[in-house]
Amino acid sequence: SVSPEEKHAIAPIVEYSQMELDEECKITKCTSPVGGLKAHSQRVIRKNYHKFNNDPAPP
């Protein structure tokens, strides 16, 4: 089964505020946002997905 954290990580999160994304960025060591809020949230999601699955972060 999928944990709530995993569901959160792979869900299409588009409702995050920029501040929330910036916080998430610090946690995930994400690079600068590219393509605005939605693109950045998708990047954070991909990084989280890989983190939860113990895979290397995608480019």
Which tens digit of pLDDT belongs to each residue from 2-45? 665 555 555 554 565 667 666 666 655 555 544 445 555 666 66
Task: Answer yes or no: pTM beyond 0.95.
Answer: no
User: 59 near 34, Cβ under 8 Å?
Assistant: no
